[in-house]
Structure 1
Amino acid sequence: MAMSGNWVECPFNRFHRILPTRLVLHLNRCARNYSGLKMVRCPFDITHVVRIAEMEAHVPMCPSRKMEELGVDQLPRAPDPSKKETSDTPWDDEPDVPTYNPALYCAVNPVVRTLYGATASERRQFREQERARFRAFREASESARSLENTNSHAAATNED
């Protein structure tokens, strides 16, 4: 597999020039067309395709093998799946909490909702109900804000 510039030569047909990013896909397709050739893939790098007779010489000299052997000791050990972590927290003593209901949350909070799969008249009626619901939210927030301003003004006059 000789390289020239950004192109890689296909091991099945030396006239095939492939970008390195497309090599794996090309090798899969080209291997089907050249199934008569006795070629095998390197166990360390699937882009290395060599003749069966050359595989024994390739494996000890493979650059990917050297990189893999260097990295084996550096990898963190995976936890043993047979050992289960135990927790001291008694989950059965937790209070019962209701499940989250998004429809209920959207109905009692100022969230824009859309009605799908309804007729035009049903959608129009739904939009009018949504406008009324948003007006009620706005009026409630304005009354709470004015009550807060009144309380803060009264507290300021009491301090004087």
Structure 2
Amino acid sequence: MFIYFFALMFLSCKEDAQKIIHYEFEGVKVSRYDLEKRTYLYYGECNNAISIKKNVSLIIDWQFDDFLQASLIFHKDRKVQILSGGGGKFKQISRKNEIYFKEYGSPEYNKIMDQYAAPNDLNNLCYIFDNTQFELEENKKLGSKVVITDELENAKICR
């Protein structure tokens, strides 16, 4: 009975922990928090879900589409551009434009994505998906140099 109680406590605490994903390229970081088919992106490093939601740069709502498919491009000017791959509604929150979304028609989108598909030195793009394991696999195939890590949130407040 005593062991059962501690096992139950451990599992219930584990469920309450929030996973934060970090993307980093050449010192530029973006933190991601997913909740109820919404993805919150924060320019910078933050491992607190409340802080990410409070100081969010961009929100992707994929409740209607039921999937998330997008790309992050880390530019040399330290800005991060997000491209829709078809899943989700994008809403810019921060007006600082360090991370920004721009809508492209199919020809322009395909032209941008084709640059990264060809064998070359462009390695500053990474895919983001609702399935984070698939995301890691696809970015490995792509040859992306964007470092993707995840951790459980902690109580540190980010600004």
TM range (shorter): under 0.3
| Structure with the greater alpha carbon radius of gyration | 1
The structure with higher relative contact order (CA 8 Å, sep 6+) is 2
* Between structures 1 and 2, the one with greater strand share: 2
